[in-house]
Chain A
Amino acid sequence: KAGVTQTPRYLIKTRGQQVTLSCSPISGHRSVSWYQQTPGQGLQFLFEYFSETQRNKGNFPGRFSGRQFSNSRSEMNVSTLELGDSALYLCASSLSLGSTEAFFGQGTRLTVV
Chain B
Amino acid sequence: GNSVTQMEGPVTLSEEAFLTINCTYTATGYPSLFWYVQYPGEGLQLLLKATKADDKGSNKGFEATYRKETTSFHLEKGSVQVSDSAVYFCALSDQSSASKIIFGSGTRLSIRP
Residues of A in contact with B (beta carbons under 8 Å apart): 4, 6, 31, 33, 35, 42-43, 45, 48, 50, 55-56, 58, 90, 92, 94, 97-107
Contact = CB atoms under 8 A, between A and B. Distances in A.
A6 B44 CA distance: 13
- 8 nearest A-B pairs in the assembled complex, by CB-CB distance: A43-B103, A104-B44, A104-B43, A106-B43, A100-B32, A98-B98, A107-B43, A94-B99
Interface stretch (B16-24, B45-53, B58-66, B68-76): B45-53
Interface of B: 32, 36, 41-46, 49, 51, 89, 93, 97-106
A42 B88 CA distance: 12
Contacts, number: 65
B55 to A, nearest CB: 11
Nearest to B97: A56
A7 to B, nearest CB: 13
Contact of A97 (B43, B45, B99, B102): B99
Contact of A33 (B45, B99, B103): B99
Contact of B100 (A48, A90, A105): A48
Given A98-B98, A101-B49, A42 B105 contact: yes
